[in-house]
């Protein structure tokens, strides 16, 4: 297709290239070992480089496909938010950047919400896509996280979040910053209802995302070698002008410093998540949840039931379910393609 790209004008080019999920290069180089891997092999290995075990970044859709039974899940659409409220431009218009990101990822914004089953348990999950403007947290992503948490609350299911983000979306200014408290409210409501909130921290999780919903989980799981921090290494280096310690701000470092519960290989992730959710859901909280009481947090008890009951939920239509063929991960990764055109809100 390269010659087409050279001839066709940029605007038209995007139509030609949207449908490809395979990158230009069929071979991918492992950043750690330098080894070349065939893309299909990488995809079928959940983007873990065979041999070196390096965890490559993974798109939101692949995440959800890998999580749910048979790769089947329903996309939950997110209420539309104002696009470009600040009329921002930094060299280019923000609206153009958004359009490009949508084309590139076939997502509406950086967070994708899905609902399905994990070893038979009902689960709501959110996956953040680093390819969508660095997974940055803007109004749409914030609203998506809130929608996902609210959905889990309504359905009485655990919520699993796959975090991947460069932080706040500068182009939305203060409205991006306000997503930190906004998402925290939704986390609190899930917590008060006694439902598990599990965060999977993937490479990279930084800035305002780490400093809000990604650090408020009941259980924090990180993938090996992921960069997880508030201020990035570049910023810190500029401030202190010294060499940073080895492995600084990587998953294993955070584990040593008590910020996360475990570092789990991607191939063991599903099994771990399933077990944690099952054990948490089988405690005494089960009866409480059934009675509409909720919350072990003493000070919240009186408000909890009431607040949960009157929680206003914005209308959301459940988009077309994606049905996996049940033949396992590899096959379902392909069937997730039509999902690209699901009915999630046009915004």
List C-alpha distances in Å: 6 to 23, 27, 122, 313.
17, 22, 48, 48
Tell me the three state secondary structure of residue 167.
coil
Strand spans (E) along the chain: 27-29, 36-38, 73-76, 89-90, 92-93, 111-118, 121-128, 159-165, 197-205, 219-222, 262-263, 318-321
Stretch in the footprint of another protein (CB under 8 A) among 25-33, 44-52, 268-276, 295-303: 295-303
Query: What token pair was written down for 99?
Result: 């359009």
Query: Residue from 1, 235, 262, 296 that binds another protein (CB under 8 A)?
Result: 235
Q: Is 241 in the site for another protein (CB under 8 A)?
A: no
Which residue lies nearer to another protein by CB, 104 or 182?
Answer: 182
Counting residues that bind another protein (by CB under 8 A) gives 58
Q: Is 347 in the site for another protein (CB under 8 A)?
A: no
Which residue lies nearer to another protein by CB, 47 or 162?
Answer: 162
Stretch in the footprint of another protein (CB under 8 A) among 39-47, 118-126, 228-236, 325-333: 228-236
What residues have CB less than 8 Å from 65, skipping those under 6 apart? Answer: 71, 73, 324, 329, 332, 333, 336
Least distance to another protein, CB of residue 319, Å: 22
Segment 242 to 281, residues that bind another protein, using CB under 8 A: 242, 244-245, 248-249, 257-259
Segment 203 to 222, residues that bind another protein, using CB under 8 A: 207-208, 210-216
- Per DSSP, 220 falls in state E
Query: What token pair was written down for 312?
Result: 């206003």
Sign of CA dihedral 189, 199, 344, 335: negative
Binding site for another protein (CB under 8 A): 81-82, 85-86, 88-91, 139, 146, 168, 170-178, 180-182, 184-185, 187-188, 207-208, 210-216, 228-231, 235-236, 239-240, 242, 244-245, 248-249, 257-259, 299-300, 302-303, 306-307
């Amino acid at each position: 297709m390269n010659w087409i790209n050279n001839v066709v004008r940029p605007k038209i080019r995007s139509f030609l290239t949207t449908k490809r999920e395979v990158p230009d290069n069929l071979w991918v180089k492992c950043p750690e070992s330098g080894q070349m891997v065939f893309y299909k092999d990488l995809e079928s290995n959940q983007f873990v480089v065979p041999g070196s075990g390096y965890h490559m970044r993974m798109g939101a859709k692949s995440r959800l496909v890998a999580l749910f039974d048979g790769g089947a899940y329903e996309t939950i659409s997110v209420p539309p938010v104002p696009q470009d409220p600040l009329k921002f431009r930094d060299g280019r218009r923000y609206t153009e950047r958004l359009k490009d990101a949508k084309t590139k990822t076939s997502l509406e914004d950086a967070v994708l919400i899905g609902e399905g089953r994990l070893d038979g348990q009902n689960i709501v999950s959110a996956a953040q896509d680093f390819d969508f403007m660095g997974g940055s947290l803007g109004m749409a992503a914030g609203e998506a996280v809130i929608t996902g948490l609210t959905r889990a609350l309504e359905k009485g299911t655990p919520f699993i979040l796959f975090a991947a983000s460069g932080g706040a979306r500068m182009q939305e200014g203060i409205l991006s910053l306000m997503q930190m408290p906004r998402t925290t409210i939704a986390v609190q409501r899930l917590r008060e209802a006694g439902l598990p909130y599990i965060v999977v921290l993937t490479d990279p999780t930084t800035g305002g995302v780490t400093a809000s919903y990604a650090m408020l989980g009941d259980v924090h799981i990180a993938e090996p070698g992921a960069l997880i921090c508030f201020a990035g290494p570049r910023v810190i280096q500029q401030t202190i002008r010294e060499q940073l310690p080895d492995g600084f701000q990587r998953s294993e470092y955070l584990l040593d410093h008590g910020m996360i519960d475990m570092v789990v290989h991607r191939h063991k992730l599903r099994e771990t998540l399933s077990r944690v959710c099952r054990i948490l859901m089988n405690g005494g909280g089960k009866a409480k949840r059934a009675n509409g009481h909720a919350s072990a947090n003493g000070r919240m008890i009186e408000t909890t039931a009431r607040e949960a009951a009157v929680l206003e939920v914005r209308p959301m239509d459940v988009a077309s379910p994606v049905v996996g063929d049940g033949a396992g991960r590899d096959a379902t990764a392909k069937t997730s393609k039509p999902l690209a055109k699901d009915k999630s809100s046009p915004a």
